[in-house]
Amino acid sequence: MLEEWIDAVCLELGLERREIDRDLVLDLARDVAHGVARPGAPLTTFLLGLAVGRGTPARDAAARLTEMAEGWRPTEDRAREAGETGERD
């Protein structure tokens, strides 16, 4: 069913199906949902699409975003760590 949906969306938006890397997008969404927050998943994949539309290679951008998501800590956690060590951002 998902493949049919992707095919239909590509047709509707005039996109080439062979240019869509389903697993890349789904993996990024999963990493953000688990590492950052669930609502961040669709927003991040949208931002990935904007970056790709502006010429950034999808795999490069997704790898950078996955790395960010895997190491993400809320600002308050980073501030607390900096306070404990005396460091400043």
pLDDT digits (tens, 9 = 90+) for 29-70: 999 999 999 999 999 999 999 999 999 999 999 999 999 999
User: How far apart, in Å, are the Cα atoms of 70 and each of 41, 56, 81?
Assistant: 13, 21, 18
pTM, entire model: 0.78
Q: Which two tokens stand for residue 41?
A: 């998943």
Does the structure show a pLDDT above 60 at 16? yes
Task: Give percent of the chain with pLDDT exceeding 70.
Answer: 84
Residue type at 36 in one-letter notation? V
